[in-house]
Amino acid sequence: MSRSFSRSVRHAGLISALVMAPCFAINAGLVSAETITAELAKAPKVPTPITRTQPATVVVNLEASEWVGPISDDNNYEFWGLNGMVPGPMVRVMVGDTVEVHLKNKSGSKRAHNLDFQAVSGGAALVNAEPGKEAQIQFKATKQGLFVYRSSTAAPADIQHLASGMYGLILVEPVGGLKPVEKEFQVVQSEFYMKDGKKNDTLVFANQKVVDADASYVVHNGHMTALVKVPLRSKVGETDRWFFGNAGINFDSSWHVIGEMLDRVWPNGDVSKAPIESIQSTLVPPGEATIGEFKGEMPGTFVSVDHSIFRIEKGALGLLKIDGPTNPALFKGL
């Protein structure tokens, strides 16, 4: 990347931040009557559904850090993530809420970290925390739906942040919440790009492999076997709602559950519109999210995949085990 291009990118980011700054300054006039601390959930778990009907001020506490952990059963990687997890914790708020984000950067970090909230007008430059420091923003949640939040530093460092785990999901529910279902899961697909190494090595980020779209891993929930060793669980007759995000950074995901059909899908996570029905696969591009749900009608083990099926070899799959009675009237061998 040329220095002039890099300077242009940084300059554009600064202009964007200056334009948005009035929207993000901590402003007492935005604060809603009740103040609550956000419940944050580690994937595949989801925060408790919202049942209140009055807006609140929701305080979201996040901590950026860097650590070495397993990316597969064979290798480690230096993750950059939030609250010690990849993807970062899921946040759940209601339209009309005032969201107050506190981003701490752990003192042992080697670099600054920030966040951009796609549920609102960004905010990356204002949520930039140096090691050992904290940054804060406040915004009104005016758009309902499922959104990605992610790091958004100036290029080329931005690429490594996104390719190292600095992202998560935020759900902005309609007033009163979504229709109740028996089970809710969150799954985030993401890509990792490393230099080649031997078994048991801690692999190192490879920028050129990002440029070449040559992913070492394409995983669900931050590890090659995260949803294989610990499958999701449900029962016949239960409706399962999936909050599915694609952190990217290069590949679309053709999300599909082998052996099931998605009864309802909210494309792009837009819950302000009626869902589309009876969908076999749904496209989730990088930096996007979708909501899908179905009722389990047969017992068995079902496989959530990116239907660009070769990516299974790189880790893009997860298992759902449904327990319960069979239904020969619906499906049987002959």
Q: What are phi and psi of 145, to 5 degrees?
A: 145, 180
Given a cut of 90, whether residue 178 has pLDDT beyond it is: yes
Query: Per residue in 104-120, pLDDT tens?
Result: 999 999 999 999 888 78
pLDDT of 154 > 80? The answer is: no
Encoding tokens for residue 318? 């997860």
> What local confidence, expressed as pLDDT, does residue 120 receive?
83
User: Would you give the DSSP letter of residue 85?
Assistant: B
pTM over 0.85: yes
pLDDT in tens, 224-253: 999 999 999 999 999 999 999 999 999 999
Q: What share of the chain is helix, strand, coil (3-state, %, to 5)?
A: 15, 45, 40
- What's the mean pLDDT when you consider all of the chain? 90
Query: For residue 31, is pLDDT > 70?
Result: no
pLDDT digits (tens, 9 = 90+) for 124-139: 778 889 999 999 999 9
Tell me: the pLDDT tens digits for 257-285? 999 999 999 999 999 999 999 999 999 99
Residue 274 neighbours by CB under 8 Å, 6+ apart: none
Long-range contact set of residues 54-57: C-beta below 8 Å, sequence gap at least 24: 55/94, 55/96, 55/97, 55/98, 56/32, 56/94, 56/97, 56/98, 57/31, 57/32, 57/33, 57/97, 57/98, 57/99, 57/100
Residue range 189-209: mean pLDDT, rounded: 97
Q: Which CATH superfamily is domain 183-323 in?
A: Cupredoxins -  blue copper proteins (2.60.40.420)
CA 84 – CA 109 distance, rounded (Å) = 12
Residue of 289, 292, 253 lying closest to 119 (CA atoms): 289
2: left (phi over 0), alpha (psi -120 to 50) or beta: beta
Spatial CA neighbour of 233 closest among 187, 282, 179, 184: 184
How many Å apart are CA 77 and CA 202, to the nearest integer?
5
**Contact status, residue 163 vs residue 191, Cβ threshold 8 Å:** yes
Domain boundaries, the chain: 183-323
Average pLDDT over residues 190-210: 96
Residue 16 has pLDDT above 80, yes or no: no
Average pLDDT in the 7-16 region? 38
Please give the pLDDT value at position 33. Answer: 75
